[in-house]
Each structure stands twice: as structure tokens, then as C-alpha cells.
Structure 1
């Protein structure tokens, strides 16, 4: 409760939640728009749009993080929300597939700049160490709730309105988010120790490459993206064409995966008090491997039933929560306090780089080669990532703790650290 007693954090968190739900509605509506424009090739269209999103995140996010200490952050965040709201408002008006690509490029460029700037603000507002840890957890809960409730809300809305109206709700959400940010007192950024933009952009990535447990997190990002792409990209065509479902059916199947994520996220806080983050995240990788293998079996055997698909989607949702939820604490415990924003920005870019690999496979290969071949490739990628994580993140380095050591020194000490449990 002490965390939400902080007025400015409470408003920023509200802005994040509202914008997240708007984004969730956009994801559902965008898939249905792609199906209307491209039919059986909707997966390819959606994959292309999501690939554009990932390119923007990988390229723009580190640059935004590099310049975050030079910008009036409140004004910048409000401007980005306004841009996103305007772009989403234009989406239901388009008539050609290439229009989607242009607007998604602008929308995701704004989102890629918003996220690292937003993350950099939190430690300046929430200064207590324990409260900051809770803020990281609250942010993850918000993402989890969005993954569950956005598809559910979309399914309920689609029973009464067309999907194009969902875009209106998203646009309104971004504008409300902008108003909440505008009402928040955001302090000026502390200047970074690096003077060159590239040094600031690359500092977090260098830390990842120098730290065994963070290299393991990079490998786990590939597992997460390989399994998650099956759900995000292929659900529309699998439900509409394979199961003969409706628009609401697509939303409900996405909600099934979100339910698995939510249930796991509710249990994990107590588990993480007793079990090391590495153990939980490796277990999540195993669950995701099982989910992708089950998806391949579904496609190969032709067992296209609602119940079987829902179980597999829920399993993938559980695995995603097991990998994602502990990540924030692992990052924070692996670097010095002043390097936390750079570490989060690096994880933001590197995780989206993994999705940049898997989204085109799920959409483009799925359209041309079918689900069996496509999901087999994604399962192989997930297995590669899981094996890499086991090799890169030694079991002896399972329990990191926060440190005030300077980043360069921390990187040198990581390999021989035997640290107390915090993640």
C-alpha cells in the first residue's frame, strides 16, 4: 500500500494500465482487420505488421533510452500518447494492406520511445528500494492482467459492435493516459555518465553480454518468443479457418492463453520467496517447450478441437508467466542501481529482437507451409533457446542480489559471485 500511496506513481501506473488495455484491444482488432483485408493470408499480414513493430522497438528503444536524460520527459510522454491515439483512430479508415504497415510503423515508433522513457521515470519517483521492487512487480501484473482481460473485453464488445469500434476505445485510452501523465510531477532526469549517445544506448547491452545470468535471460527470450508467436500470430487463422470460429472465438482463445498467464502470475510471488529465479525461469522454458510440442502434435494429427487448442494455449500462457515474471528482479539484482534503467532498456530491445525472428516465421512460413512445418521450426528454436539458457546461466549463479558495485566492476565479478537470494 505504501507504493500506491505515492501520488505520482499512482497516476503513472494508471496511465500505464489504461494504455496497455488500449494496446490489447488494438492487437485483437488488428488481427480481425487483417483477416478482413487478406482472408487466409491474414497471418502473413499480421506477422509483417508485428515485424515492423519489432524493428521499431529494437532500433528506437535504445536510442530513446540514450536521450531520456536530455528530454523534458513529461512533455515527451504526453506527445507520444497523443501520437498513438491519433494513429489508432485512423486504423479503421484504411482500405489497403500497405496502409496497415505505414500506420503500425508510426504507432510502434511512438510506443518504442514511450516504454524506456516511462521505465526510466519510475526509479526517480519511487525512491525506496523495496517499493521500487514492488513497482516492478506491479508493472508485470499490469501486463499480465492486460493479456487476460483485453481479449475478454474484446470478446464481450464484439458481441455488440464491430471490431472497428475497438480502435475508438484504444484511441480514447491513449488520450486518458496522456492526461494522467500530464497531471504527474516528473522530476528532471539525472544526466548520464556517458556523453556519447551510442555509449548510453549500448551500455545496457554490454552489461548483458558480460553477465552470465543475463546471457541466460537473452536465451530465454528466444524460448518465450518462439512459443508466444504461435499464439499471437496464428490464433486468428487457426480459430477462423481451422476451428470455424467467429471474431469472438478469436478473442476468447487469446483470453485462454492469458488465463494461464494470470494463474501462474498469482502463484509466483510466494514461489519466488522460496525458489531461485533461475529454477522458476528454466521450469517455464520447459513448459513452453511442452506447449510448442503439443501445438505441433495438434497440427500434425488434425486434432483441431476447441478443448485441445484451449489446453495448449493455456499451457503456453503459464510458461510465459514463469519466464517473464522473475525477469525484472533478475535484471535489478544484476546491476548497480544507476544502471537499472539501461538494463531494462537493453532487455526491452533484446527481447523484441527475439520476437523479430519468430514473428515472420509464424506468419510468413505459416501462410505458405502450413502450421505443422511452421510450429516445428518454432519448437526447434524454443529448444535451442532453452539449451542456450542452461549453458549460459550456471546453476551456481542462481541467486543474484542487488549490489551497488559500479557496472564495469560488477561485470567482472559476476562469474565468481555466490550471492544471496533476492530474485
Structure 2
């Protein structure tokens, strides 16, 4: 079965890609808006706004996943796009910092509900198992490409437009996404095997806690968030205040990290055929520890250069790709097919929980104590996550062998946690 021959999937995937790029452009524009309103304190404003984003993701995503079988999914996806488009359109009108916080709360609540809804729809419109696996991979590739191309598109756009016009463009993008969703025929959700909303909401998290390799993934989430927060939160102040750069320079520096991500993503498919996911992901953790150490060295020694920063940002991008890209493969190998949406929803929430820890460190500590203490703290968290992953994820478990039997037993028969852990 050819994946993109499925009309409904093709349109829904297009909606996801447009929404992803809308979110990416909004992130770039939001950093510039924060700098416009707060100047040197932009890092704290952006860090707080992104912390609000993570709170919404951690709370809303599992609740949406738990309730998705009771909701009209096409209507919900369209409504979420409309909300996001309206909020983004209002962002350039703000005059106070607290306005940003309120609007970001609304925007990210809608985004947090969109992702698990989209993931739950895929198996119903792509019933073929092989095509379904390719659909999950396509979704990951789209996310990877967005991290590269959004900053590049923003940099090009900023040559001709002021940053507030980026918000208008992303609003139009969300409207286009809603139109594409409307053009699909999304079937009604099948009732979940779980009996209560709470059981559905925490089912995926229980699987993470019970499976050694997934506990390792949880630790690696902290490594990604620690290094990523340096790039996402601190780039605007580092480039504008320390390097004396422009708005376009901020976007290009973010693109340097995205370039590292893309280069790694191009190599990984063949690499994962020969090397276990555990080896690739823990290597990525080592790369991120090195990247954060380089960032601390740059800010602590005062040897701040364009080349040094760009190379460090690219290294961080490589490390993030080495961890993020194989994660879907590990999840699919750890749960039964009917539990994949819950596992992805759990990873969505748990990964953003890690960002909820690191964003305030980068934003608040970076503003009040300086970049060196903030980045040093984040580097220490990256080391902690790396060591924890090595201890929690057994060396003999490469993360590639299917474990659907063990996970199914956990879901359907209430098998004890200890026995599932032994099986995994």
C-alpha cells in the first residue's frame, strides 16, 4: 500500500506540516517579540512563555488522549486550528508581557490537544500496518524538517518583513490547515478498551515506568531538554546582546542547530539498520553533553564568536536528532499496535515535562544570574540524564525487538509490573 495514495492521509499530513511550520515560525517571532518588549530580560519572558507551553502540553495532551474516543475528531482538529490562528493573529497586538503569557496559554493548550488527536486518527485512515508504520515515520520526518526550515524561512522573511508580519503568515497557515482537515473523511473513534478516563490517561505512563528501555527514554528526554533549552531560550539574547546580531541573525543561528538535526536525520535510517537504538541514543546523549560543555566554555571564557556559537548549536542539533529520531522505533517495539497512540501520547507528555524543568532554568536563572550559571546547570542536568539512561536501559536490550506480547499482557490481563519488567 502506497502511503500517500491515501487521500485522507495526504490531506491530514499536509495539515500537520502546515501547522508544524506555523508553530515553528511563531516560536521565532515570539523570541523577537519578547526582545522587543523586554530587551535584556527577553530570555526570562521567553522562558516563562515556553514554561506555560510545557504545562499545557503535560496536562492537556494526556487528557485529550483519554477522551479522544468520545469527541468528533474532525470538528475538534478544525476548531483547534481556528483557535491557534486567532491567537497568533492577536500576538503582534500585545503591549504588555502578561498579554503574551495569556495568549501563549491558549495557543499551546490548542496545540497540546492537536497532536494526540492527529496521532489517534492515523491508524483509522491508514489501516495497513506497514503503511501505518511509514505514516509515523513521515510524521517524525516532518517534525525534523520543521526544526531546520522554520528558522531559515523566518530569516528569509525577515529580510522583507518585520517580525510581527510573521504572526500574520502563521495565522494564514493555521487557516489552511483547518481547510485541509475539513476535506478529510475521518471516521468516528473506536471505543477504547480501557474503562475509565483516568486509566486511559495514565496507561501509557504506566508502560513507561514498567519497561526498562522506556525508563531510559525518559532519562534521555531530560538530556534533550537541557541542551535544547540553551538553543531555544538563550539564542535571542546571546545573538542580540553578546554577538550584536540582528533579527535575521537570530533566525540563522537557530537554523544552524536545525542543520545539525537534518544532517543526522539523513544518516540515521541506514545507521539504525546496523546499530541498536540504545547505542545511537546514548551516543546522542554524549554529543549533547559535549555540546552543553562547549556552550558553557563559550560564555564562561568570554570567547564568544559567531563560528564557535554556530558550530556548538549545530552539534547540539546533531545530538538531539540522535535521540529523538529513533524514539518512535523504540516505542513501536515496546507496545502492542493498539497501544501505540497511548505510548506516543505518554512520550509527548513526559518529554515536555522535561522541558518544563529546563525552560525556567534557561529563562529565569539565565536572566537573573547570567548565562554561565544557567548553562552550567543545564549541562549538569544533561550529564545526570545521560548517566541515568545508561543505568536504567540494560545494555543487552538494544530497543529493536518487538515486545507487543508483554505490553498486551499488561493492558489486558492486569499482569504485575514486576513480571512485565522481567519480560521487557
TM-score range, shorter-chain basis?
over 0.9
Q: Which runs of 4+ in 1 moved over 2 A?
A: 399-405, 409-418
Deviation at 1:404, TM superposition (A): 4.1
Matches of 1:128 and 1:389, distance apart in 2? 34
Q: Are 2:240 and 1:240 aligned?
A: yes
2:16 aligned residue: 16
1:325 aligns to what SS in structure 2?
helix
Q: Hey, what's the Cα distance between the residues in 1 that align with 2:142 and 2:379?
A: 28
- Contact 2:210–2:421 (Cα < 8 Å) also in 1: no
Counterpart in the other structure of 1:381: 381
Aligned to 2:208: 208
Aligned counterparts, 1:283-294, within 5 A: 283-294=283-294
Counterpart CA distance in 1 for 2:399 and 2:42 is 44
Unaligned runs of 5+ in 2: none
Separation in 1, partners of 2:67, 2:10: 25
> Which residue does the alignment assign to 1:265?
265
Residue aligning to 1:36? 36
Matched, 1:96 2:96: yes
Cα distance, 1:413 vs. partner?
5.5
Deviations 1:333-369 (A, max 9, x none): 1011111111010000000000000000000000011
SS in 1 for 2:316: helix
Q: Map 1:14-413 onto structure 2 (within 5 A).
A: 14-405=14-405, 406-408=408-410
Distance, in Å, in 2 between the alignment partners of 1:413 and 1:8 is: 41
State the TM-score, normalized to the length of structure 2: 0.97
| Aligned equivalents of 2:72, 2:387: Cα separation in 1 | 43
Contact 1:217–1:389 at 8 Å: present in 2 too? Answer: yes
The answer as to whether partners of 2:280 and 2:322 remain within 8 angstroms in 1 is yes
1 CA distance for matches of 2:75 and 2:300?
52
> For the residues of structure 1 that align with 2:333 and 2:155, how far apart are their CA atoms?
39
- C-alpha deviation, 1:400, in angstroms: 3.4
Q: What is the rounded CA distance, in whole Å, between the counterparts of 1:8 and 1:333 in structure 2?
A: 27
| Deviation, structure 1 residue 79 | 0.4
Q: How many angstroms apart in 1 are the aligned matches of 2:361 and 2:332?
A: 32
- What's the secondary structure of 1:397's corresponding residue? coil
Q: Is the 8 A contact 2:333 2:404 kept in 1?
A: no
- Answer yes or no: is the 8 Å Cα contact 1:52–1:101 preserved in 2: yes
Instruction: Report the Cα distance in structure 1 between the residues aligned to 2:345 and 2:416, rounded to whole angstroms.
Output: 18
For residues 272 and 5 of structure 1, what CA distance do their matches in structure 2 show?
A: 27
Q: Which one is further off, 162-171 or 130-139?
A: 130-139
Distance 2:95 2:186 in 1: 40
Query: What CA RMSD, in Å, does the superposition of the two structures yield over aligned residues?
Result: 1.3
Q: Deviations over 1:49-105 (max 9, x none)?
A: 000000000011100000000001000000000000000000011110000000000
User: What secondary structure does 2:160 align onto?
Assistant: coil
Structure 1 gaps, min length 5: 419-423
Counterpart secondary structure, 2:192: coil
1:415, CA displacement in angstroms? 4.0
Q: CA deviation at 1:131?
A: 1.5
Whole-angstrom CA distance in 2 between matches of 1:128 and 1:194:
24
Equivalent residues of 1:281, 1:326 under 8 A apart: yes
User: How much does 1:195 deviate?
Assistant: 2.2
Q: Secondary structure at the match of 2:195?
A: coil
Say which SS state the counterpart of residue 4 (structure 1) adopts. Answer: helix
- The answer as to whether partners of 1:133 and 1:329 remain within 8 angstroms in 2 is no
Q: TM-score, normalised by structure 1?
A: 0.97
Contact 1:58 1:353 in 2 (8 A): yes
- 8 Å Cα contact 1:155-1:251 kept in structure 2: yes
Say if 1:83 and 1:110, in contact at 8 Å, map to a contact too: yes
Deviation at 1:401, TM superposition (A): 2.7
Q: Do the aligned partners of 1:336 and 1:410 also contact (CA within 8 Å) in 2?
A: no
**Contact 1:9–1:122 (Cα < 8 Å) also in 2:** yes
Distance in 2 (alpha carbons) for counterparts of 1:404 and 1:224:
27
Deviations 1:395-414 (A, max 9, x none): 11114333442150596555
Aligned length: 418
